[in-house]
């Protein structure tokens, strides 16, 4: 059997196995990143009465899920995560989004929808030993704007199903933090917090990264007594120039398959996006707006205090980084294998050059999915799981940021050499690229995307 036939057989068996896993796992109850079970330890909180102007794309009131199983009078620790799920910037891409990700443009039925409460949001100590007893908050992403927009429906010219869409992600985040301060029954609310871990998933992580200085200021006002840190899951966009992509940018009918290098000025304009003053772009040159979204440029512009407080989780074969640069499926040819390895190496080089304080980058073909994937506890590098690696870094952060700690305090429990963890794999075969045996199931199930010619294949959205 020749090498190409063998490789094709391996890929086919791997994808068949992944499909079987998906079938037995059951289909999601909503078209989101969630699981199919309703977690009764969380409850839906609408912002409708708090601020009627805080609306989703379709005009329904925004909101969030908040854990209700913690000791409300004792916990002063808060975990606040921003949901992800792509973005859109014109009537065509937003129509596509409304079809594929219906739950991400509205809050209709949110109070009864299945909720992704695994991983870092789990209420089970054995699954989430470090954050299970914190006030856990999951902000619903229904603004399609990376949490950056300030455009109301009355100002919008993006029409979906005959209705003008609002893009108010920045307002939704601001009002959500203000709402959390009012929850006095939770040991004084967010304003009395001692620790806040704030982060996002996928599009949520891109939005957090692009607006970190804005979010840092909001959190300083909302939780003035807290040690604030950040966790970004699958939000580090790599910088690949046009002549290094595997294929040119497509029709952009699906926004996340169109490089932000190309459409940055369009999305900023469509959303009236609020960008931080540290954005590496200049207002005089709109062609440089794309640098406001890419990890290496963002990190070079951030204050050191924020850089030291952020933990990056970026798997080496994230489908967004592969897809927007021309590889929309698991690699099959030698050229595709080489390109996937190039993306992986680019991620590792950018993380190292940016002096990221803490990071985890395993060689997996999927997003990390720290709230809806077994990878949070099982995906490991050097025998340290993702959860353990983050906690190791977090304890180091608390130790170094506490002014009351002296040089004589014991820090031997911290693995200082493991603050940045990354796989280093071979490049000659799919098996070599996937050198980490603890990766969650390969995200290799393909589908036909909604596009002009109905022929573009890409990964399922996460």
- Do 64 and 138 meet the contact criterion of CB atoms below 8 Å apart? yes
pTM of the predicted model, to two decimals? 0.86
User: Residue 249's pLDDT is what?
Assistant: 60
* Alpha-carbon span 323 to 346, nearest angstrom: 15
Backbone angles phi, psi at 110, to 5 degrees: -60, -35
Q: Where are the domains of the chain?
A: 3-403+411-459
User: Residue 282's pLDDT is what?
Assistant: 54
> Quick one: residue 126, left, alpha or beta (phi over 0 = left, psi -120 to 50 = alpha)?
alpha
Q: Residue 448: pLDDT above 60?
A: no
* Average pLDDT taken over every residue of the chain: 82
Mean pLDDT of 240-262: 71
- What does 253-281 look like in DSSP terms, one character per residue? SSGGGS-HHHHHHHHHHHHT----TT-SS
Task: Give the length of the chain.
Answer: 462
User: Residue 453's pLDDT is what?
Assistant: 33
Least confident of 22-26, 168-172, 222-226, 389-393: 22-26
pLDDT digits (tens, 9 = 90+) for 15-30: 333 322 322 232 223 3
Most confident region among 37-41, 66-70, 285-289, 354-358 by mean pLDDT: 354-358
Q: Residue 41: pLDDT above 80?
A: yes
Q: Residue 445: pLDDT above 60?
A: no
Most confident region among 173-182, 237-246, 276-285, 441-450 by mean pLDDT: 173-182
Mean pLDDT of 245-273: 78
pLDDT digits (tens, 9 = 90+) for 339-390: 999 999 999 999 999 989 999 999 998 887 798 667 898 999 999 999 999 9
User: Residue 154's pLDDT is what?
Assistant: 96
Name the DSSP class of 205: H
Model confidence at 256, pLDDT cuts 50, 70, 90, reads: low
Burial 80-99 (b: 16+ CB within 10 A, else e): bbbbbbbbbbbebbbbbbbe
Least confident of 148-157, 244-253, 301-310: 244-253
Mean pLDDT of 46-52: 97
* Alpha-carbon span 100 to 450, nearest angstrom: 8
User: Residue 332's pLDDT is what?
Assistant: 85
Name the DSSP class of 135: E
- Do 151 and 418 meet the contact criterion of CB atoms below 8 Å apart? no
The two three-digit tokens of residue 387, written as one number: 């959860």
User: Residue 137's pLDDT is what?
Assistant: 95
pLDDT digits (tens, 9 = 90+) for 78-116: 999 999 988 999 999 999 999 988 889 999 988 877 666
Q: Which residues pair with 156 in a beta bridge?
A: none
Mean pLDDT of 170-180: 96
C-alpha triplet 41, 66, 24: angle, nearest 5°: 50
- Do 358 and 310 meet the contact criterion of CB atoms below 8 Å apart? yes
| Higher pLDDT among residues 408 and 168, named by residue | 168
Percent of the chain with pLDDT over 90: 53
User: Residue 255's pLDDT is what?
Assistant: 62
* Alpha-carbon span 308 to 303, nearest angstrom: 9
Model confidence at 185, pLDDT cuts 50, 70, 90, reads: confident
pLDDT digits (tens, 9 = 90+) for 292-322: 999 999 999 999 999 999 999 999 999 889 8
């Amino acid at each position: 059997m020749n090498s190409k036939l063998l490789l094709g057989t391996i890929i086919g068996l791997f994808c068949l196995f992944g499909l079987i896993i998906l079938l037995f796992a059951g289909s999601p109850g909503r078209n989101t990143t969630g699981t199919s079970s309703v977690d009764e330890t969380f409850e839906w909180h609408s912002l409708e009465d708090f601020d009627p102007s805080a609306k989703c794309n379709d005009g329904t009131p925004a909101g969030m899920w908040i854990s209700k199983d913690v000791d409300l009078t004792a916990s002063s620790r808060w975990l606040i995560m921003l949901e992800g799920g792509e973005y859109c910037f014109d009537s065509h891409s937003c129509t596509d989004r409304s079809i594929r990700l219906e739950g991400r443009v509205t809050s209709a039925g949110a109070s009864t929808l299945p909720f992704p409460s695994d991983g870092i949001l789990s209420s089970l100590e054995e699954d989430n030993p470090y954050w299970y007893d914190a006030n856990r908050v999951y902000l619903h992403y229904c603004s399609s704007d990376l949490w950056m927009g300030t455009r109301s429906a009355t100002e919008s010219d993006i029409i979906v199903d005959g209705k003008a869409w609002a893009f108010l992600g920045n307002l939704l985040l601001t009002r959500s933090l203000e709402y959390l301060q009012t929850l006095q029954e939770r040991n004084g609310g967010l304003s009395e917090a001692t620790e806040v871990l704030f982060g996002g998933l996928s599009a949520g992580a891109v939005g957090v990264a692009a607006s970190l200085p804005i979010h840092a200021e909001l959190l300083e006002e909302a939780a003035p007594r807290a040690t604030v840190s950040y966790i970004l899951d699958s939000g580090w966009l790599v910088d690949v120039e046009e002549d290094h992509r595997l294929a040119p940018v497509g029709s952009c009918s699906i926004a996340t398959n169109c490089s932000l290098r190309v459409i940055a000025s369009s999305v900023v304009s469509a959303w009236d996006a609020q960008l931080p003053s540290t954005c590496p772009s200049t207002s005089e040159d709109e062609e440089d707006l794309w640098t406001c979204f890419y990890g290496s440029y963002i990190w070079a512009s951030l204050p050191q205090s924020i850089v030291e407080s952020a933990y990056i989780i970026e798997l080496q074969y994230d489908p967004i980084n592969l897809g927007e640069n021309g590889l929309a499926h698991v690699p099959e040819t030698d050229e595709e294998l080489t390109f996937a390895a190039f993306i992986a190496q680019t991620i590792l080089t950018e993380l190292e050059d940016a002096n990221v304080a803490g990071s985890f980058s395993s060689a997996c073909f999927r997003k990390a999915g720290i709230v809806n994937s077994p990878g949070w506890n099982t995906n490991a590098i050097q025998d340290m799981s993702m959860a353990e690696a983050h906690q190791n870094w977090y304890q180091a952060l608390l130790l170094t940021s506490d002014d009351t700690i002296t040089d004589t305090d014991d820090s031997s429990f911290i693995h200082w050499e493991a603050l940045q963890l990354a796989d280093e794999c071979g490049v000659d075969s799919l098996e070599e690229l996937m050198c980490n045996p603890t990766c969650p199931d390969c995200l290799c199930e393909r589908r036909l995307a909604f596009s002009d010619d109905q022929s573009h294949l890409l990964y399922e959205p996460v």
